[in-house]
Amino acid sequence: MSILDWFANKKNLDKKKSIKNIDKLNIPGNLWVKCPKCSEVLFSKDLELSYKVCSKCSFHFRITPEERIDYLLDNNSFVELDKDIKPVDFLKFEDTEPYEDRLIKAQEKSKYLDAIIIGTAKINGIPVNIGIMNFFFMGGSMGSVVGEKITRIIENGIETKNPVIIFTSSGGARMQEGILSLMQMAKTSAAISKLSSLKIPYITVLCDPTTGGTSASFAMLGDIQIAEPGALISFAGPRVIEQTIKQKIPSGFQRSEFLLDHGMIDNVVHRKDLKKTLKNIISILQAQEENK
């Protein structure tokens, strides 16, 4: 349901110039970016060097999978798995445009086939299995491909005993795949249950935004759950709540810090500290004799 929010955000994105500037980072010559939170004007090179975090107010910009790999994993350690799995418009779903067309557009715009990449990598020399969702691909929505790849990276963890780390960023289930998108929640959660019974560490890093069916499945099942500051994390998003229930949303509602206060996550960690934090957590959860 809370994919509503993804759309709400999408609309806001379209409206708010300040946020749209983020996209322009990739355009050569566009050297300045305005922080959407504090309006500070940031030099884009500096911003990239500071993990895409505003130096003034610590606003965490949404980042691409490549940027995340760059910031968090040992150099050149990432090996992508199951790269070729492709989505299918099996319902012939057509809203304002056919799902098939949406997919082609999204694939052309990004260089990805769907909203997640998975692979093996190292963090400070420790082998890990990694999944990174891509909000820039159809709002990171979870259809069959996302569900399958999440499941496979977990199954790979079961084989290799590597800890599994998933970076979530998703508006929820992909409606265009109907009931089968809902079933991905059960499928991924069941895989995590197997991983869990083998006592292999599973860590989730909740990034902005993590909502709907994604939050209500693999995102919330980490042995340890950390969030980036200020991330929107919810099942039903603020807009749905306001519309449906006519309740006024309190400030800070459903942001990382709110979830921390309400007992849902273990900690909020600044992006610059994420790598060493993950390294520390893994080295504690994995018994010495099991370390490879």
Q: Which is nearer to other proteins, 38 or 186 (CB)?
A: 186
* E-state strands within 124-271: 126-133, 164-170, 202-210, 224-227, 267-268
- CA angle in degrees (0–180, nearest 5) for 267-271-272: 115
* 57 makes contact with Zn ion (CB under 5 A): yes
Q: Which of residues 87-106 bind other proteins (CB under 8 A)?
A: 87-88, 90-91, 93-96
Contact residue for other proteins among 120, 148, 203, 256 (CB under 8 A): 148
Q: Which of residues 30-59 bind other proteins (CB under 8 A)?
A: none
Q: What is the enclosing helix (H) or strand (E) of 120?
A: strand 116-123
Q: How far is the CB of 253 from other proteins (least distance, A)?
A: 7
Cα dihedral 119, 122, 126, 128 in deg (nearest 10): -20
Q: Which of residues 238-277 bind other proteins (CB under 8 A)?
A: 240-241, 244-245, 247, 249-250, 253-254, 260-267, 277
CA pseudo-torsion sign 116, 120, 124, 126 = positive
Q: Which of residues 153-192 bind other proteins (CB under 8 A)?
A: 173, 175-187, 189-192
Residue 112 binds which entry of other proteins, Zn ion, none, CB below 5-8 Å type-dependent? none
**Which amino acid makes up residue 115?**
A
Q: How far is the CB of 11 from Zn ion (least distance, A)?
A: 22
Residue 29 binds which entry of Zn ion, other proteins, none, CB below 5-8 Å type-dependent? none
Q: Based on the number of CB atoms within 10 Å of its own CB, is 116 exposed (0-12), middle (13-18) or buried (19 or more)? A: buried
Q: Which residues bind Zn ion (CB under 5 A)?
A: 35, 37-38, 40, 54, 56-57, 59
